Amino acid sequence: MRPHLSISRRTRRTPFSSRVEAAGASGYTVYNHTLLATSFRGIEVDYWHLCENVQVWDVSCEKQVTLMGPGANQLAQYMTPRDLTDTKVGRCYYLPMCDEKGKMMNDAVAIKVNDRHWRLSVADSDVLLWAKGLAVGFGLDVEVREPDIFPLAVQGPKAEELMCRVFGDEIKQLGFFAIAPFIYNGQRMKVARSGMSKQTGYEVFVNDANIGTQLWDELFAKGQDLDVRAGCPNLIERIESGLLSFGSDMDHETSPFEIGLEKYVNLDANIDSLSLPALRAYTPSKKLIGLVLEYHRSLNDLDVFVGNKKVGVISSQAYSPKYMRRLAFFMCDLEALNGATEVEVNTAQGRATGTLASLPFNFEALGLTACR
């Protein structure tokens, strides 16, 4: 039996919650103290629809933490080992956010609004408190806030078409991870080409709850012939795309080197980042690795073995109907793995062999082709 979720004021509703309910959300989680749907018609039906059409997602749970003031750049740089020196206004940047020990506090998408204003779209931890603590402690001249902004994502291959119908053709000029202001119903809102899927996608940073529900309704009215549906970040699509989830695939004990984020760590940069000294001295002994299992195998538990030696634990997994394989991420003890390329897991039908894969999955290299 699937458990019921008790909703209270503490599990915050959003301006779109009534629309999400009316659209038939069948499962929820709580993310940044806020309701987030996890499925509508079932994650497999939702998945195919997302891959082939367009969906509107209430991702208000992607809380926006703003750093404003003369100290904003300094605070942003303290919090990440990624070099922000040459960052540009109007761009999004994926940031590992690390503490002074080089461990992950969050992974955020940061928007440089101007030279004194950064905005962080944060994963599931209270970055507000971390940023405020640092600002107060270091005595920085920066205001740290969580304003009432409610991101609404439009995702899927027909997202561009739908967004053009509502916001105009200028939306086509928005490159990947670019962000620009658009006017909707007289209200200026930022729109970014981004989102928690590898499909084409946009995020509208709704800053007025009433206009937000009008926007939701207009997206549905204008997208009827595109079969627009309410959706949500989809587990299957996330795993196939190799997108990590803070809290599942990493936590406050994880180094960015262990989860493939080295390209966002500028070890040689001459910057004031809290985590760089620790990261420079760190040699990871674990790594998040992909795992491909025959499709008919469902797992009894999440342990991964080489022979009788446990080498890791699966952190996220889903059955991919497109490749007809079960795909997983697991945190692997590299010494225990000792160069093995195959591992074993416990399934309902006994031990099964799995193939290791680098992340993100390269299906062609794995010899897998999409079934549709």
Helix (H, G, I), strand (E, B) or coil at 38: strand
Site string for its own copies, 133-162 (x = CB under 8 A): xxxxxxx------x----------------
Site string for its own copies, 248-277 (x = CB under 8 A): x---x---------------------x---
Q: Which of 218, 247, 269, 333 contacts its own copies by CB under 8 A?
A: 247
Stretch that binds its own copies, among 48-56, 59-67, 240-248, 338-346 (CB under 8 A): 240-248
Beta carbon nearer to its own copies, 7 or 348: 7
Our finding on whether 29 is near its own copies (CB under 8 A) is yes
Write the Ramachandran bin of 99: left for phi over 0, alpha for psi from -120 to 50, otherwise beta. Answer: beta
Q: Which is nearest to 305 in space by CA: 360, 258, 362, 353?
A: 353
Q: Which is nearest to 317 in space by CA: 221, 253, 249?
A: 249
Q: Which of 316, 320, 330, 363 contacts its own copies by CB under 8 A?
A: 316
| Minimum distance of its own copies from residue 267's CB (angstroms) | 20
Sheet-wide strand order for 179-184: 179-184, 187-192, 201-206, 150-155, 55-58, 229-231
CA dist 64 and 362 (Å) reads 32
CA dist 92 and 98 (Å) reads 18
Stretch that binds its own copies, among 24-32, 110-118, 148-156, 160-168 (CB under 8 A): 24-32
The burial of 243, by beta-carbon neighbours within 10 Å (0-12 exposed, 13-18 middle, 19 or more buried), is given as middle
Q: Which of 45, 129, 183, 348 contacts its own copies by CB under 8 A?
A: 129
Q: Which is nearest to 350 in space by CA: 318, 317, 319, 305?
A: 305
DSSP 354: E
Beta carbon nearer to its own copies, 99 or 161: 99
Helix (H) or strand (E) run with residue 11 in it: none
Beta carbon nearer to its own copies, 127 or 159: 127
Beta carbon nearer to its own copies, 38 or 214: 38
- Residue 360, preceding bond cis, omega within 30 degrees? yes
Please give the residues from 350 up to 369 whose contact with its own copies meets the rule CB under 8 A: none
Our finding on whether 331 is near its own copies (CB under 8 A) is no
Cα Dmax for the chain: 64
Helix (H) or strand (E) run with residue 229 in it: strand 229-231
Beta carbon nearer to its own copies, 17 or 197: 17
Please give the residues from 203 up to 232 whose contact with its own copies meets the rule CB under 8 A: none
Our finding on whether 83 is near its own copies (CB under 8 A) is no
Which residues are near its own copies by CB under 8 A? Answer: 2-11, 25-31, 33, 38-39, 99-100, 105, 124-139, 146, 245-248, 252, 274, 315-316
